[in-house]
Amino acid sequence: MISQWSTAAGRVLRAVRSTSAPMTYGLIALCCLFFVLGPASGLTPGYGSGEALLGAQRAYFARWGVVPAELFARPVRDALTPATALFVHGNWVHLLGNMLFLFVFGTMTEERMGRVEFTLFYVGCGYLALLGYAAANAASGQSLVGASGAISAVLGAFLYLFPRARVTSLLPFLFFLPLRFPAWVVLPFWAALQWAAAGRASDGPGVAYLAHVVGFGLGFGYAWVRYGRGTRVKAAPAQALEGENQP
């Protein structure tokens, strides 16, 4: 069994290294691996079932996620939680929605930035996005997990670097008819929805829309400062369908 897992892992590593965006695929693989091995997936028998599983999930999110009240009460102890939270997801829908967005927009962004810069950009902006949400909800005792802030930063950078790249969107009010729009139409509209939702959100369980807004702004601002107006790239269409799941 161990040899089979080792062989499979070696094949995955070789496949990742052979792609033009290895860090994007590597980040997707890490998020999926941590989710499958954690209690939120429900696939690991060691966490039990029923109330025991729910308790394990709460403890897991509290340990690796961002709890704003604890972060600012114990900044030294919990300083890394905005980074570890990027690799923890609450359920299958949360994971798959985020990974879809990362796959669609991450590969082209990584190709433009390069592997090292893209990785530092992803983790740094994701950290600051979650930190920004925590600062705005400093009294909250709810755990915040997910790669949403980092992926929103990727969307912001993508908008600046590839504004004319066409993105396929599924619109519910048009019976999910797939339509293709340029990124400069789709992504600002998405960001506006996040901003509107952030204004109505409470500090209870749910989607951290403010982290999306902060991440998107950081990503766009970084690309603007780093690459300047003369470095935008005409790109091929985005690689996969964008569903309505939000990062």
- Burial string for 216-226 (b: 16+ CB within 10 Å, else e) reads bbbbbebbeee
Q: What's the rounded Cα separation, in Å, for the pair 118 and 124?
A: 10
Helix (H) or strand (E) run with residue 170 in it = strand 166-171
Tell me the catalytic residues: 148, 212
At 58, the amino acid letter reads R
Q: What's the rounded Cα separation, in Å, for the pair 89 and 68?
A: 17
At 40, the amino acid letter reads A
Residue where the block lists tokens 């509290």 = 62
CA atoms lying within 13 Å on the CB side of residue 52? 6
Torsion sign, CA atoms 119, 121, 122, 123: positive
How far is the CA of 63 from the CAs of 16, 34, 56, 135, in angstroms?
30, 14, 10, 19
